């Protein structure tokens, strides 16, 4: 076969230079889970919830495409496409392959799903994109490679996503949702299409991405929806017919086209002809578009200068590229998204906090498994781990998955899929560690350590603990093991005694675990693990007699180690100050918990708070307690109410203060929906500025009641100032920066000078009219409301060295050590590192994963921005040949970020943005290497 698509000019429809060319893009938007589960959507099960069956969409479209070579279709979600493909006959596969080769069926985006942009981490996003792109590459070769990124539905757009797409080789990006004020301005200024300069670090055009705002979200223009789910009248072209409407429809279409052309720059415009789960019956769509094209173009004989054609985003993009316009530049992002004055989509930054954490933890586990599959060799692969587990994580990136905007039963399904992935992954870890440690003693994983539950540690007199570290640098980590003894001996891999304490399990934890475990105490000690390897600790019960010290019912004045000192107000028991003992800098810092009363609509607007939308009734949140019950014992335990508590910890050797919060069940029997925040109020002169990361990577400056690209009319003083934080947020002044690193994606804002507030949990009583049709009121395991526990890490540093602390801290939070346990004595090999040495501090090992039998995919990343660290924001070199201790690299080839193209072959369309001459630091490029295990 000749791949016509390679020569895109050949497969694109002819256009007319002297006319307005209207590119009709037939498409379907298939959520990989939302109101129904991904399985239900694929098969069309439970259609009483929502009529949607993706299998039929692909059946029907393929059937209709064959009927006319002019017809086009694009497909987006590889999660669905690969499944459909697996059920097709050789004959159908041949037909589809030819349609792809001829550019009649075009893949756009092409990831496993269309990921959420506010609550995802770049690590998982790159993985899910890679999974989808690889399937397309394996199946269709170069013809299957998407040229265009397509995020028509996500509720706001992250700059890091744009950067990723650029580095994956996409030529352009289209989306549907942006702030209504922004859209108004862009239409007026003809800035609906632009070049998004998506990184302050990468040299243009490396992270430049041509970006277009679609005219009607992702829907067809009003009156031209011919899906079975629509009720617009078809083209009724029998002149004998009473309802003959050709003249009316053509007039209306031409008028809409001209109005649209008025807000775009060129004589080409795009129309998205489709919507959610449309084309289950492709016949009405194509039949009526065929007629529309025929009748509109027939007017050309009478002087009409409107030319309609079937097209695709690539073909439209190509025409824009040929138009040789100068395009405006965009450098910030598209958060927050508001579709009306009181309708800010900032609630979902926090919605379903437990799912958000489970997704993040699952990613950590998946990366560990991917690494151990490589490191453990063939023995590690003897189990169920594999595609299914990567797919579960990939599906969880969907913009109605980790976003928390799905129905409860669907959220349960995502969690279940991840849970199955955990089971499979644990088999692999066992196999791999058996190979690497030489011990086949059964290995136990304790998933509930966060609520002090682990039957083995609770009951065993002698056990060993393997600490696997997925980072490419050594780590130190504080471990809390549930135990029932009162004293233990802990030895490290070298047989050296490790200092440990036994402290009683807190009341808050006992209440929270509700009979799921019976440990009285926690054994606390610090562990170390080598880069990309493990160390083993041996724990022996010394005595059961004697209870540990009970916590003292009194607020401490302070807690400190050699790096940090936290002070507390002795009257209220609240945090009152933080001092960096190394730099001798000190700030006042109070912290407390509050809740906003969720709006259930008012006279100004009927908008409620819901899964998507955050809208507080009042800008002043309610204080839960101004004087918590406080007790102290190594750690400070604060009880704010029966449903809010916190433990403040400062570990020896740590430069960060840990706040472990526990919230829930949030009471709603008072009829008030609650959106619970914690707020840090400090003496830092941050004025109106604060900073948040983008998908856990680069950091963007935020300013209260302000948007960089338009003159904001602020209508929601709280919700309109919320932004997503994926890994970190901070405030700073000249001397000090207070950085908060978190364990999951959340909403964050700074509404006052020196203040930073983070939304932790939401329990609401109303749906917010964006389709999910359920109030966000998670029942939890016991049905009375979900309890969530999480951690925030606080650092206080000078601004110029802040990144040196928060970069490794955040990576450690994302890829955390995996603990596994064996009863009895430790294995023969107690320590292992796959690296010859730690990678340089600036280098993060993002991906190490088996690609096929003879090769692995390696991604190395420079984890500092170009100017955030004096020490680390510099080019750095890694010698791949000398990197691994147990793997021999016999060859390596650099690929695009999505691993579906050789880097050398990557050519992208060039766009003129006028003059710009900044200097950028080149990051270490991503690498794919062929390695021999």
> Which residues belong to the active site?
153
Piece of 233-241, 438-446, 590-598, 850-858 that binds a copy of itself (CB under 8 A): 233-241
Q: Which is nearer to a copy of itself, 240 or 669 (CB)?
A: 240
**Residue 561 to residue 563: CA distance in whole angstroms:** 5
Q: Which is nearer to a copy of itself, 64 or 926 (CB)?
A: 64
Piece of 44-52, 102-110, 150-158, 427-435 that binds a copy of itself (CB under 8 A): 44-52
Q: For residue 649, what are the contacts with CB-CB under 8 A and spacing of at least 6?
A: 478, 634, 635, 636, 657, 658, 660
Piece of 54-62, 327-335, 401-409, 488-496 that binds a copy of itself (CB under 8 A): 54-62
Binding mask 266-305 for a copy of itself (x = CB under 8 A): --------------xx-xx--x------------------
Binding mask 471-490 for a copy of itself (x = CB under 8 A): --------------------
Q: Which is nearer to a copy of itself, 51 or 544 (CB)?
A: 51
Tracing tokens 């928390």 back to the chain, one arrives at 404
Instruction: Give the residue ranges of DSSP H helices in 485-627.
Output: 507-513
Residues numbered 65-94 forming contacts with a copy of itself, rule: CB under 8 A: 83, 87
SS3 681: strand
Q: Which is nearer to a copy of itself, 232 or 569 (CB)?
A: 232
Q: Give the shortest CB-116-to-a copy of itself separation in angstroms.
A: 23
Of 261, 287, 326, the closest CA to residue 21 belongs to 261
CB-count exposure of residue 289 (10 Å: 0-12, 13-18, 19+) = buried
Binding mask 14-43 for a copy of itself (x = CB under 8 A): -----------------------x-xx--x
One of 15, 21, 28, 60 touching a copy of itself (CB under 8 A): 60
One of 7, 47, 489, 910 touching a copy of itself (CB under 8 A): 47
One of 6, 13, 19, 53 touching a copy of itself (CB under 8 A): 53
Q: Which is nearer to a copy of itself, 43 or 920 (CB)?
A: 43
Q: For residue 192, what are the contacts with CB-CB under 8 A and spacing of at least 6?
A: 183, 186, 212, 213, 215, 263, 264
SS3 98: helix
Q: Which is nearer to a copy of itself, 54 or 129 (CB)?
A: 54
One of 142, 233, 658, 774 touching a copy of itself (CB under 8 A): 233
Q: Report if residue 219 touches a copy of itself, rule: CB under 8 A.
A: no
Piece of 119-127, 229-237, 705-713, 803-811 that binds a copy of itself (CB under 8 A): 229-237
Instruction: Supply the DSSP string of 499-538, one letter for each residue.
Output: -EEEEEPPHHHHHHHTTS----EEEEEEEEE-TTEEEEEE
One of 26, 33, 44, 313 touching a copy of itself (CB under 8 A): 44
DSSP for residue 10: H
Residues listed for the chain: 933
Q: Give the shortest CB-90-to-a copy of itself separation in angstroms.
A: 15
Q: Give the shortest CB-228-to-a copy of itself separation in angstroms.
A: 6
Q: Give the shortest CB-119-to-a copy of itself separation in angstroms.
A: 24
One of 88, 97, 228, 777 touching a copy of itself (CB under 8 A): 228
Piece of 225-233, 397-405, 504-512, 729-737 that binds a copy of itself (CB under 8 A): 225-233
Q: Give the shortest CB-51-to-a copy of itself separation in angstroms.
A: 7
Q: For residue 74, what are the contacts with CB-CB under 8 A and spacing of at least 6?
A: 25, 26, 27, 105, 106, 107, 108, 150, 312, 313
As beta bridge partners, residue 211 has 173, 194
Q: Is residue 805 within 8 Å of 381, Cβ to Cβ? A: no
**C-alpha dihedral sign at 456, 458, 459, 462:** positive
One of 98, 216, 236, 755 touching a copy of itself (CB under 8 A): 236
One of 59, 127, 716, 778 touching a copy of itself (CB under 8 A): 59
One of 46, 203, 294, 462 touching a copy of itself (CB under 8 A): 46
Phi/psi at 203 (nearest 5 deg)? -75, 125
One of 141, 205, 217, 234 touching a copy of itself (CB under 8 A): 234
SS3 302: helix
The overall longest dimension of the chain from CA atoms, in Å, is 99
DSSP for residue 68: -
Q: Report if residue 243 touches a copy of itself, rule: CB under 8 A.
A: yes
As beta bridge partners, residue 811 has none
Q: Give the shortest CB-402-to-a copy of itself separation in angstroms.
A: 20
Tracing tokens 């496993």 back to the chain, one arrives at 112
Q: Report if residue 230 touches a copy of itself, rule: CB under 8 A.
A: yes
Q: Which is nearer to a copy of itself, 280 or 359 (CB)?
A: 280
Residues numbered 404-463 forming contacts with a copy of itself, rule: CB under 8 A: 413, 416
DSSP for residue 770: S
Q: Which is nearer to a copy of itself, 60 or 726 (CB)?
A: 60
Q: Give the shortest CB-351-to-a copy of itself separation in angstroms.
A: 24
SS3 912: strand
Q: Is residue 641 within 8 Å of 592, Cβ to Cβ? A: no
CA distances from 393 to 157, 283, 305, 368, 567 (A): 21, 35, 49, 13, 41
Q: Which is nearer to a copy of itself, 290 or 658 (CB)?
A: 290
Q: Which is nearer to a copy of itself, 388 or 438 (CB)?
A: 388
Q: Is residue 733 within 8 Å of 684, Cβ to Cβ? A: yes
What is the 3-state secondary structure of 105-125?
Answer: EEECCCCCCCECCCCCCHHHH
User: How big is the CA angle at 188 (ends 26 and 254), to the nearest 5 degrees?
Assistant: 45
Q: Give the shortest CB-233-to-a copy of itself separation in angstroms.
A: 5
Q: What share of the chain is helix, strand, coil (3-state, %, to 5)?
A: 25, 30, 45
One of 14, 18, 48, 499 touching a copy of itself (CB under 8 A): 48
Q: Give the shortest CB-292-to-a copy of itself separation in angstroms.
A: 14
Q: Which is nearer to a copy of itself, 67 or 544 (CB)?
A: 67
One of 16, 63, 386, 526 touching a copy of itself (CB under 8 A): 63
Q: Which is nearer to a copy of itself, 278 or 849 (CB)?
A: 278
Q: Give the shortest CB-907-to-a copy of itself separation in angstroms.
A: 39
Q: Give the shortest CB-385-to-a copy of itself separation in angstroms.
A: 15
Residues numbered 375-394 forming contacts with a copy of itself, rule: CB under 8 A: 388
**Six token digits for residue 484:** 């029932």
**Residue 157 to residue 155: CA distance in whole angstroms:** 7
Torsion of CA 179, 181, 184, 186, to 10 degrees: -70
**Residue 396 to residue 421: CA distance in whole angstroms:** 12
Piece of 56-64, 107-115, 556-564, 814-822 that binds a copy of itself (CB under 8 A): 56-64
CA distances from 379 to 114, 427, 437, 523, 553 (A): 35, 11, 12, 34, 53
Instruction: Supply the DSSP string of 159-182, one letter for each residue.
Output: HHHHHHHHHTT-SEEEE----HHH
Of 172, 108, 186, 93, the closest CA to residue 140 belongs to 93
Number of shown-chain residues binding a copy of itself (CB under 8 A): 38
Of 730, 739, 657, 725, the closest CA to residue 697 belongs to 725
Q: Which is nearer to a copy of itself, 234 or 601 (CB)?
A: 234
Residues in the site for a copy of itself, rule: CB under 8 A?
Answer: 37, 39-40, 43-48, 51, 53, 55-56, 59-60, 63, 83, 87, 228, 230-234, 236, 238, 240-243, 280-281, 283-284, 287, 388, 413, 416
């Amino acid at each position: 076969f000749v791949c016509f698509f390679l020569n895109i000019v050949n497969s694109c429809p002819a256009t007319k230079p002297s006319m307005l060319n209207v590119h009709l893009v037939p498409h379907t938007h298939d959520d990989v889970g939302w109101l129904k589960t991904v399985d239900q959507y694929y098969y069309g099960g439970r259609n009483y919830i929502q009529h949607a069956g993706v299998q039929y969409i692909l059946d029907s479209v393929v059937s209709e495409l064959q009927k006319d070579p002019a017809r086009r279709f694009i497909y987006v979600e590889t999660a669905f496409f690969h499944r459909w493909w697996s059920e097709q006959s050789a004959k159908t596969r041949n037909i589809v392959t030819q349609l792809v080769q001829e550019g009649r069926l075009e893949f756009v985006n092409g990831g496993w799903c269309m990921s959420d942009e506010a609550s995802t981490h770049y690590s998982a996003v790159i993985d899910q994109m890679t999974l989808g792109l690889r399937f397309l590459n394996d199946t269709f070769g170069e013809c299957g490679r998407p040229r265009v990124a397509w995020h028509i539905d996500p509720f706001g757009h992250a700059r890091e996503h744009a950067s990723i797409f650029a580095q994956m080789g996409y030529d352009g990006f289209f989306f549907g949702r942006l702030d209504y004020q922004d859209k108004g301005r862009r239409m007026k200024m003809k800035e609906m299409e632009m070049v998004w300069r998506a990184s302050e670090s990468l040299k243009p055009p490396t992270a430049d991405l041509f970006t277009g705002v679609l005219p009607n979200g992702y829907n067809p223009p009003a009156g031209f929806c011919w899906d079975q789910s629509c009720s617009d009248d078809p083209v009724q072209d029998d002149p004998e017919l009473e309802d003959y409407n050709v003249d009316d429809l053509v007039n209306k279409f031409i008028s809409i086209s001209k109005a649209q052309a008025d807000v775009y720059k060129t004589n080409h415009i795009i129309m998205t002809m489709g919507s959610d789960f449309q084309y289950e019956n492709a016949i009405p769509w194509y039949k009526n578009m065929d007629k529309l094209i025929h009748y509109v173009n027939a007017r050309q004989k009478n002087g009409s200068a409107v030319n309609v054609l079937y097209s695709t985003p690539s073909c439209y993009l190509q025409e824009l590229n040929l138009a040789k316009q100068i395009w405006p530049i965009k450098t910030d992002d598209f958060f927050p998204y508001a579709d009306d004055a009181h309708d800010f989509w900032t609630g979902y930054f926090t919605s379903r906090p437990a799912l958000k954490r489970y997704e993040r933890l699952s990613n950590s586990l998946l990366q560990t498994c991917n690494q151990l599959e490589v490191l453990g060799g063939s023995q590690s692969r003897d189990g169920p781990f594999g595609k299914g587990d990567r797919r579960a994580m990939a599906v969880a990136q969907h913009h109605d998955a980790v976003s928390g905007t799905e129905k409860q039963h669907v959220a349960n399904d995502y969690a279940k899929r991840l849970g199955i992935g955990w089971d499979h992954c644990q088999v692999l870890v066992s196999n791999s560690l058996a190979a690497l440690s030489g011990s086949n003693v059964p290995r136990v994983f304790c998933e509930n350590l966060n609520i002090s539950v682990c039957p083995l540690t609770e009951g065993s007199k002698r056990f060993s603990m393997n600490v696997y570290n997925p980072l490419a640098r050594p780590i130190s980590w504080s471990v809390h093991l549930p135990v029932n003894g009162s004293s233990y001996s802990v030895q490290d891999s070298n047989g050296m005694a490790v200092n440990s304490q036994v402290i009683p399990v807190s009341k808050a934890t006992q209440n929270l675990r509700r009979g799921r475990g019976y440990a009285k105490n926690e054994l606390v000690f610090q562990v170390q693990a080598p880069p990309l390897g493990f160390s083993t600790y041996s724990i022996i019960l010394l005595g059961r007699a004697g209870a540990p010290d009970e916590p003292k019912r009194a607020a401490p004045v302070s807690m400190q180690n050699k790096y940090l000192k936290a002070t507390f107000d002795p009257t209220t028991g609240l945090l009152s100050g933080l001092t960096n003992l190394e730099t001798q800098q000190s700030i006042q810092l109070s912290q407390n918990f509050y809740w906003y009363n969720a709006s259930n609509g008012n006279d100004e607007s009927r908008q409620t708070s819901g899964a998507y939308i955050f809208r507080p009734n009042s800008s002043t949140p309610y204080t839960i307690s101004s004087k918590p019950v406080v007790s102290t014992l190594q750690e400070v335990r604060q009880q704010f109410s029966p449903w809010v508590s916190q433990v403040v910890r400062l570990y020896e050797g740590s430069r960060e203060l840990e706040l472990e919060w526990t919230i829930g069940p949030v009471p709603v029997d008072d009829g008030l929906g609650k959106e619970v925040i914690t707020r840090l109020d400090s003496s830092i002169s941050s004025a109106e500025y604060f900073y948040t990361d983008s998908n856990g990577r680069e950091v963007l400056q935020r300013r209260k009641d302000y948007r960089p690209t338009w003159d904001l009319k602020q209508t929601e003083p709280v919700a309109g100032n919320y932004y997503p934080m994926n890994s970190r947020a901070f405030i700073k002044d000249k001397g000090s920066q207070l950085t908060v690193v978190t364990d999951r994606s959340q909403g964050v804002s700074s509404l006052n000078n020196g203040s930073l507030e983070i939304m932790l949990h939401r329990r609401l009583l109303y749906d917010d009219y964006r389709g999910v049709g359920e109030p966000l009121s998670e029942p939890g395991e016991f049905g009375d409301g979900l309890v969530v526990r999480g951690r925030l890490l606080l650092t206080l540093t000078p601004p110029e060295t802040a990144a040196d602390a928060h970069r490794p801290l955040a990576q450690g939070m994302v890829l955390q050590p995996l603990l596994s346990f064996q009863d009895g004595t430790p294995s023969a090999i107690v320590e292992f590192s796959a690296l010859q040495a730690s990678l340089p501090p600036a280098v993060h090992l993002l991906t190490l994963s088996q690609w096929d039998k003879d090769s692995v995919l390696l991604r190395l990343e420079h984890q500092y921005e170009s100017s955030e660290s004096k020490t680390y924001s510099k080019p750095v070199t890694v010698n791949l040949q000398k990197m691994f201790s147990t793997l021999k690299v016999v060859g390596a080839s650099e690929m695009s970020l999505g691993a579906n193209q050789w880097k050398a072959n990557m050519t992208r369309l060039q766009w003129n943005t006028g003059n710009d001459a900044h200097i950028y630091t080149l990051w270490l490029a991503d690498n794919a290497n062929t390695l021999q295990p």
